[in-house]
Amino acid sequence: MFRKNSIVILALCVAMLQIYGCSGIMKANHFISQERYDEAIPILKEQIAERPDFARARNKLGFAYLKTGQLDKAINEFENVLNKVPDEPYAILYLGMAYLNKEELGKAMDTWKMYKNVRAPLVEEEINRLMTVLLIAQSQRSAKTALAQEGQLKTNKPDANTIAVCYFNDLSEDKSLRAFQKGLAAMVATDLSKIRNFKVIERLRLQALLQEMKLGQTGIVDPNTAPIVGKLLGTENLVTGNLSLGSIQVVASVSSSSNEKVLGSTSTKVEQENFYDLPGLVIQNCADILGIKLSDEEKAVIGVPHTKVYQAFIYYGQALDALDAGKWQDAKNLFEMALKEDPLFYLAKKGRDSCPGKNTPSIAEISVMTAVDLANVTERSIDKAEDQQARADKTASTASKGGCSGGSGHSH
């Protein structure tokens, strides 16, 4: 009897603890919903003092700290949650926001790369698009800093394993290979990143530098200017090249930034229907110039075509052009057209999924945004995605007989 009573009392105690905890969270949520973050903070701190592993309270406290500008405290709370639950989406989302508000764009993007949430796919999709905006902003800042410190950078020696792939110059009379300029470069860079001896510079970083150097959409880096561009990018090796007709011929050169010279050049020619062989051939030639022996596994990887559909490749190159011009809707449409031609074209899918929305600020607007501006735009976009997810969940719940919605799990 005594044991039975003890069990009942223990159950009541646990129930009271849960009720107390829930009521505290509910009260804090009430203050947060009214943007009375200062009043929510002591309630949440009290909850955590009694239950240090109360992840939900820590998330809410981190959010309240974020909204009151206490960024280091916010980061600490979200990191505490992620130490216990490494893939917790709420903590990842707002930890990235905290870093963004601290003007640490690199850390914000590294954090958001971990974001996965099957319960909120619309939010996940929006974060992928916002990552592109942040990368553009970070690349623009890096380019401006590099040009301002050009004299100092000339004395720096980049990491020997770094490499950038510049756009290929279309030498055809009718400029029919224009789509190859960026499309081929993007494919070569993607495959180079699969080789352990190379650390590849992001394409958007190169694009931002070209724009800052007033080369913009049509600027082509040749072997003579490659060392200068390499030092500004902080990369040792640069791949440059020309495209010409008579089948499709690629003349690729590898230049050294520190030695300020061309290390070697090679020529490759394929028939138009075999265009998809070009990335692997260019990489093999570059590796030979640099004295790098590719493993059988690496050869196999770079030998896998991105697409065998010529028109899909053309649309992809055009999409990159539109993206670099800040024509977001045009870029998305072109990526979609590439996918329609070849539904298995992964780079086109990645481009479409990470393409900024049509209401995203322009390239010029992004270039003058402060970290706070970027954070505000980002938060508005995420809030909109959360609202869309909530409506989609409600619609799905209504359509399902007796079903109930799981929700996005992101309500503040």
CATH value at residue 209 = 3.40.50.10070
User: Has residue 377 been placed in a domain?
Assistant: no
On whether both 98 and 159 belong to a single domain, the answer is: no
My answer on whether 163 and 248 are in the same domain is yes
Q: Give the DSSP letter of residue 276.
A: G
Q: What is the pLDDT of residue 224?
A: 78
How far apart CA 63 and CA 73 sit, in angstroms, is 10
Q: Would residue 375 count as lying in a domain?
A: no
Task: Tell me, yes or no, whether 98 and 186 share the same domain.
Answer: no
Residues 16 and 89 in one domain: yes
Domain end, chosen from 251, 281, 306, is at 306
Supply the angle between the helices 178-192 and 203-212 in degrees, to the nearest 10: 130
Is there a single domain that holds both residue 176 and residue 223?
A: yes
d(CA 375, CA 108): 10
How do the pLDDT tens digits run along the chain, 412 residues long?
A: 433 443 444 344 444 444 444 577 888 888 888 899 999 999 999 989 988 888 999 999 999 999 999 999 999 999 999 999 999 999 999 999 999 999 999 999 999 999 999 999 999 999 999 999 999 999 999 999 888 887 766 667 788 889 999 998 888 888 888 888 899 999 999 999 999 888 999 999 999 998 888 765 455 787 778 888 888 898 999 999 899 987 888 989 999 988 888 999 999 999 999 999 999 999 999 999 999 999 999 999 988 999 999 999 999 999 999 999 999 999 999 999 999 999 999 999 999 999 998 889 999 999 999 888 999 999 899 999 999 999 998 888 888 755 444 444 454 5
Burial of 53 (0-12, 13-18, 19+ CB in 10 A): exposed
- Our count of domains for the chain comes to 2
- Which residue segment(s) compose the domain that 293 sits in? 152-306
Would you list the DSSP string of 322-344? HHHTT-HHHHHHHHHHHHHH-TT
* Final residue in a domain of this structure, among 290, 306, 322: 306
Same domain, 94 and 201: no
Read off the pTM. 0.84
> Does one domain contain both 163 and 254?
yes
pLDDT value of residue 26: 85
Is 94 in contact with 82 (CB distance < 8 Å)? no
Q: Is 134 part of a structural domain of the chain?
A: no
CATH of the domain at 18: 1.25.40.10
Are residues 157 and 112 part of one domain?
no
